[in-house]
Every structure is written in C-alpha cells, then in structure tokens.
Chain A
Amino acid sequence: MQFQSRHFGNIAVATPAGRLDHAAAVPFEQALSPLWQDQQAAGLVVDFSNVEYISSVGLRVLMIAAKQMRARKARVAAVAMQPIVAEIFAISRFDSVYEVFPSLRDALAAMSPTALTAYDGS
C-alpha cells in the first residue's frame, strides 16, 4: 500500500493506493491516524482513485477515522471510488458512514469554501 496526504484549507485529504486488505491494514491505520488526530481539520476526505479493493479490516480503519472525526463534529467523505470499491462501500453500508462524492473537488465544494479555493488555486 502507498499513501499520501495533503491539506486543502481546513480539510485533510488522504490518498491511499493499491489494495487495502489484511496485509495493508496496519500501515493504512498508521498512515491515516495523524489525519484524524489533526484537531484543525474540519473534515477528512479519502481519495479512492488509486484503490483497487478494500476488505473488512481496511473498512475498520475508516470506521475509526469516522468515529474520531464525528466526535468533534468534523465530516468524512469518500471520493473517486472505482466501481468495485463503490460496490463494497454499498454492501458494507459504509456509504451511510461516509459522504460519497464523484470527485475530490465535489467533496471540497460541499465541505468547505476555503478548501475549494485552496484546491482551485493549487
């Protein structure tokens, strides 16, 4: 698994890549945790454009992130999911945990004007 993170305004964006399966669960959690611990972030967006598959343990990491963010009234979103990942989100009912958007820009537009401005200017 590969992982990158960025910030646009007050929104943290995580971009994992590859398969988020049992082999990747621990590194995924370690990589994502600084973002949900960022008290300045008003939202967390996970960009799935490079994720081929996510299993139960990968989804568990997303649930931890969602619980932590929601505890301080911050929003969580999933964007740019490939069809298989979108299906897994629906089957597991994670589409009721994360707001789902077609693109990162759509998510930022819905979550934070500041973040959208930062994204458009990047």
Chain B
Amino acid sequence: MQRVRFWGTRGSLPVALTAPAVRQKLIAALRGASGRVFESDRDVERYIDGLAFDVAGTFGGHTACVELVTGGTEYVACDLGSGLRPFGQAAIARHGPAAPQTYHLFVSHVHWDHIMGLPFFGPAYIPGNRVIFYGGHADLEAALRRQMDPPSFPVDFSVFRAAIQFVHLAPDRPHDVAGMRVTLKRQHHTGDSYGYRFEKDGRVVVYSTDSEHKLTDPRERLDFAEFFRDADLVVFDAMYSLAESISVKADWGHSSNIVGVELCQLARAKHLCLFHHEPAMDDAALAKMLAETQRYEEITRTDSYLRVSAAYDGLDLAL
C-alpha cells in the first residue's frame, strides 16, 4: 500500500463552490497581498502556498470516492460517489481507453451519495475492462442496477461493456483481494454500512464512513478500536459535531470529530483523516473544525501523537 487519493469527500450530496465564495477568497488573498511586490510567477505561487487552505483552496464537493494505490497494477477504490467520475477519467487519461484495466470497487453501502457516480464511470463503458464490485449488502447489484433504470437515467446498466462482477464479502473475517487482506465491519447506519480494513505490505488503511457510534456500549467502542488497531490511516466519518450527533441528528448514521480522535487514540492509529463533510459547511467552517480537532488531539494526547487532517477532493496522501 503506497498512497491514498481522495476523489470525493463530501457527505450526502455534492456541493459546488459558488461565485460569492470565490469572491470572498479573492478578497482575502488580495488583502493579504497588499503592498507586496511579485517579481515572478514563482513569487506568486510562493505567496499562494502560504495562504490558509480555506482561502487558497477548497475542500471540494464530490461525494465519497477514495482510491488506494496498492503498488499493484489494478485499481482499487472505495465507494461510487460522484468522485468516481474524475477517478475514472484520470485512469483513462493515464492509460488511454484501449489498454484494458481492472477496477476493484468496495462499496460501504448503497445510499445514493455512495453510488451516484457509477453511471458516469467511464471505464465501465469500455470493452476489455474488468469492474468488480465488493460489498457486504446482499442487494448491492440490485441497487446499482436500479439507479440506472428508466426513468432515472438515459441508459440502463446493460450498456456497460466492461466485464462486470459482484462479490459478496462476509464481515469479520479476512478476504484476499487484489493482493490485499480485506476485512469488513458492520456499522450503525440505516440499512447498515460496512467499514473496510485494508492491509498490504505492513501498511493498514481503514475506511469507515457513514458510521454512527452510540457511546452507550463499551464493547462496541473496543471492537472499533480493534478494527482501527495500529492503522496508518483511518478515513473517518466526522460529519457532525458531537453535540449534534447525539441530539438532533442522533440516528442519522454519522459520527463526530471527537469520537474519531478518541477511537484512533485508543487504537493507536497514526493518522485520522476527517471525511464525509457536512454539505452545509463551507471551507472556513471545515478549516475551523480541522483546527479544533487537532487541538482536541493535543489536549487528550497521552504517549503517542495522532496526526489529524481533513480530506479534500484532490488530496494525495503517502502512507
């Protein structure tokens, strides 16, 4: 396992950066540049690189799709959110449409935001490619076919020209897929969701989204800590604040930054990546949440440091 690339990081539905939001970023950047002299493009780039991420960049708006670069020749990704489209386009651009590729796609669950990218996944339309869907839900294939049935989409699932395969994976025991050891864990979410633990070459990545932690069952807390144990990276559903997640948004199937830090510390994980961002949160709000989460990690740190970051579309993490 070498890298993790984030193609979609938003929860529930895609969002787009608006013109007023871009204007605010420009105002902030230009105000900061007042009085400066830029001798070259490199000077401009250096200035931009020094700006806060929520001013110079954006957390992005595609729904869940996370690529694992395993070191093998085949592609691996988690979830089929709208980020699946740019993931597929990038793969086609890398190899050209004529070179057959294999795609292993792991699905957390079949709610719309996690499957909406599939009809726009270019590699599925190309003969010679192999696309293999993995999941813990018995109705995975039916759900993927149904979203393309008329009148919801112009063409149905049968137009895919790649070789399509569905593989059901039972939770709580390891499976060998694409040179990885893959273990699923059932999570609290309406209709269930599944977290994935991927292990290869001594590296561990956990993908745990759309997962509510009830805080009432000590056994469950220990089970998740074991699932996250010593992970190099935990991609974690931190959609809501703790207060929201246990009050007005209880039973909505999501978790918080606070619980993410606590579980990762208990598991002695190395890196927590906040994921499945609330669509109502703009870049400034997400940057604030990240800073607060890093501070919470600092407050609660015992003997080992937990790196905390926030996923954004385009983030490319080395393991």
Contact = CB atoms under 8 A, between A and B. Distances in A.
Interface of A: 22, 53, 55-57, 59-60, 63, 66-67, 84, 87-88, 90-94, 96-97
Contacts of A60: 215-216, 246
B299 A93 contact: no
A87 to B, nearest CB: 6
A56 B247 contact: no
B241 A92 contact: yes
Contacts of A88: 296, 299
Secondary structure of the A contact surface, majority rule: helix
Given A92-B242, A92-B256, A93-B241, A56 B299 contact: no
Interface string B239-250: 001111011000
A94 B295 contact: no
Of the candidates A90, A93, A94, A96, the one having the most CB atoms from chain B within 10 angstroms of its own CB is A93
9 contacts: A59-B243, A59-B246, A87-B295, A90-B292, A91-B257, A91-B292, A92-B258, A93-B242, A94-B243
Given A56-B259, A91-B258, A91-B293, A84 B247 contact: no
Contacts of B243: 59, 63, 92-94, 96-97
Of the candidates B241, B243, B296, the one having the most CB atoms from chain A within 10 angstroms of its own CB is B243
A60 B246 CA distance: 7
B262 interface: yes
Could you say which interface size class chain B belongs to? 20 to 34
Secondary structure of the B contact surface, majority rule: helix
Contacts of B262: 55-56
A4 to B, nearest CB: 25
B188 interface: no
B218 interface: yes
B6 to A, nearest CB: 24
B186 interface: no
A68 to B, nearest CB: 12
A81 B263 CA distance: 25
A13 B246 CA distance: 23
Nearest to A95: B243
B221 A22 contact: yes
Contacts of B218: 22
Contacts of B241: 92-93
Contacts of A55: 262, 300
A56 B77 CA distance: 32
A88 B262 CA distance: 13
A57 to B, nearest CB: 5
A60 B218 CA distance: 13
A57 B246 CA distance: 10
Given A91-B292, A92-B256, 17 more contacts: A22-B218, A53-B300, A56-B242, A57-B215, A60-B216, A60-B246, A63-B246, A66-B247, A87-B296, A91-B257, A91-B258, A92-B242, A92-B243, A92-B258, A96-B243, A97-B243, A97-B247
A22 B247 CA distance: 19
Contacts of A91: 257-258, 292-293, 295-296
Contacts of B258: 56, 59, 91-92
A67 B248 CA distance: 10
Q: Which 6 residue pairs of A and B lie closest in terms of their CB atoms, listed nearest first? A: A93-B241, A93-B243, A92-B242, A91-B292, A60-B215, A63-B246
